[in-house]
Amino acid sequence: MEPVLLRARGVPNSRSIDTYLAAGGWSGFAKALSMTPDAVVQETIESELRGRGGAGFPTGRKWSFVPKDHPGPRYLICNADESEPGTFKDREIIEHDPHMVLEGIAIASFAIRSNTAYIYIRGEFVRWAAILEDAIAEAHRRGWLGKNVQGSGYDLDIWVHRGAGAYICGEETALIESIEGKRGFPRLKPPFPAVVGVFGKPTVVNNVETLACLPHILTRGAKWFASIGRPKNTGTKLYCVSGHVKRPGVYELPMGVTFREIIEGPCGGIREGHTLKAFFPGGSSAPVMRATEVDVRADFDACAEAGTMLGSGGVIVLDDSVDMVETAANLAHFYAHESCGQCTPCREGSDWARDILDRIVAGHGRPGDPETLLRICRFASQGMTICPLGDAFSLPISSIVRKFPEEFERHIQAASAVPQKKLPVLPWAGSRPGFGS
């Protein structure tokens, strides 16, 4: 397949605007400027592009929720927080093709009639934030950003806003709070950001990969984009494969290939001497899949039908050397660390799950632990919390408990005497190795 989003990978000097222009870059935005904003929205709806950040919501429809009669400013935010474990595709696009991201932002901003866009990039990506800043300066010099872009009368400014280390800020309302200079506490919805977003104004938050599709949709047409992949799951997708494959990395494939095709194709299969045990299809927040489920198609609808989700396309591959209870414990540590602390079921539940899983791994599992874990997960998911972090920690842990019960059995049967451990009154005050101590 001809690369679309990764076409600049391996091209010399790919980040420069001249290289980008020579490859037909910025012409999608030029085309958008010759259309009405509504026509750009319509074209995007017809392409059936769905959000690549995790939720898979139709992008054009998301834009169409922005009220047309709203006076005053509205905002476009590019979500480059990329913090979902197993996901590393946005960095790849920024690294090789920053202008493609800027052009996508420009098209989306024009479509929702916004004159200011922010790129919220995770704090650790210092180098990639600088790459974006350089590209923005270059685009200004060439008249693709700023006042009266290419003589069209349309103004657009893009600002890079660095986060400072918080997984939760990848959630769009937490991200908005963070831009406003607050702690990253997710907001209750409704109102949705399209109506009340950053600074109280209509706001659209789109992922880097979603935005990077737009220049191609504009130049080659919605029909072309929709012809790739499968119905309702169109376009190419960046699959990030990590873990126990021979060649981990970011691969661009038509949406809807199977996980087997991804793992055994470009990734070269499982490392020598081992077999596939399990994989997370879309970041660590997606329910785990057994090796027998490897023929599921890697698209939004097929994953949902199989009881999991495509999420961000971060495929974490685990071979037979991996202990699934330890895997659950590892992820529980992640979510317990990253829970923002607003909602009790998530804040306490993720800490409890971590403590129970650590205890099982330490050789002190008890009969009934798997059921307790499932109960904690049930209390923290399906609408019990403000944002989906409750689900994000519950789904992988509960799916590991359900799909690998024999591994929990083995740990629990081999367990030594049960130590009496009191639950700390304040789990937050427990052992949290990290900064500042």
Partner 1 sequence: MSTKPILSVPTEQLEHTTFDTTMEERILELLKRYPTTRAALIPVLWLCQDRYGWLAPGVIRAVAERLGESPAYVEGVATFYTMFYTRPPAKFVLQVCETLSCAVCGGKELLHHLESRLGIKPGEKTPDGVFQLVGVQCLGACGTAPVVQINDDYYENLTIERLDAVLDDLKGRS
Residues making contact with partner 1 (CB under 8 A) = 73, 82-88, 91, 122-127, 159, 161-167, 178-184, 199, 240-244, 248-250, 280, 284, 314, 316, 318, 321-322, 327, 330-331, 333-334, 337-338, 340, 433-437
Minimum distance, C-beta of residue 182 to partner 1, in the bound complex (Å): 6
Tell me the backbone φ, ψ of residue 40, rounded to 5 degrees: -65, -40
Nearest CB to partner 1, comparing residues 100 and 119: 119
3-class secondary-structure state, position 137: helix
Burial (CB count within 10 angstroms: exposed 0-12, middle 13-18, buried 19+), residue 26: buried
Neighbours of 113 (CB within 10 A): 17
Burial (CB count within 10 angstroms: exposed 0-12, middle 13-18, buried 19+), residue 46: middle
Minimum distance, C-beta of residue 322 to partner 1, in the bound complex (Å): 6
Nearest CB to partner 1, comparing residues 215 and 243: 243
Minimum distance, C-beta of residue 89 to partner 1, in the bound complex (Å): 9
Minimum distance, C-beta of residue 250 to partner 1, in the bound complex (Å): 6
Contact 99, 18 (CB under 8 A): no
Minimum distance, C-beta of residue 183 to partner 1, in the bound complex (Å): 4
Nearest CB to partner 1, comparing residues 44 and 242: 242
Nearest CB to partner 1, comparing residues 84 and 103: 84
Q: What is the DSSP letter of 364?
A: I
Distance CA(283)–CA(298), nearest Å, equals 12
Nearest CB to partner 1, comparing residues 280 and 408: 280
3-class secondary-structure state, position 59: helix
Minimum distance, C-beta of residue 25 to partner 1, in the bound complex (Å): 25
Nearest CB to partner 1, comparing residues 43 and 391: 391
Contact 379, 263 (CB under 8 A): no
Dihedral through CA 165, CA 171, CA 175, CA 178, nearest 10? -60
Of the CA atoms within 13 Å of residue 282, those in its CB half-sphere come to 28
Q: Length of the chain in residues, anyone?
A: 437
Query: Residue 271 is encoded by which pair of tokens?
Result: 């490392």
Minimum distance, C-beta of residue 81 to partner 1, in the bound complex (Å): 9
Minimum distance, C-beta of residue 27 to partner 1, in the bound complex (Å): 28
Nearest CB to partner 1, comparing residues 147 and 366: 147
Q: What is the DSSP letter of 246?
A: S
Nearest CB to partner 1, comparing residues 213 and 336: 336
Q: What is the DSSP string of 233-244?
A: EESEEEEEEEES
Nearest CB to partner 1, comparing residues 122 and 216: 122
Distance CA(37)–CA(26), nearest Å, equals 17
Distance CA(33)–CA(13), nearest Å, equals 28
- Laid out side by side, the sheet with 289-290 consists of 249-254, 236-243, 314-319, 276-280, 289-290
The dihedral sign for the CA sequence 163, 165, 167, 173? negative
Nearest CB to partner 1, comparing residues 46 and 124: 124
Distance CA(383)–CA(71), nearest Å, equals 33
Tell me the backbone φ, ψ of residue 190, rounded to 5 degrees: -70, 170
Minimum distance, C-beta of residue 398 to partner 1, in the bound complex (Å): 17
Minimum distance, C-beta of residue 422 to partner 1, in the bound complex (Å): 24
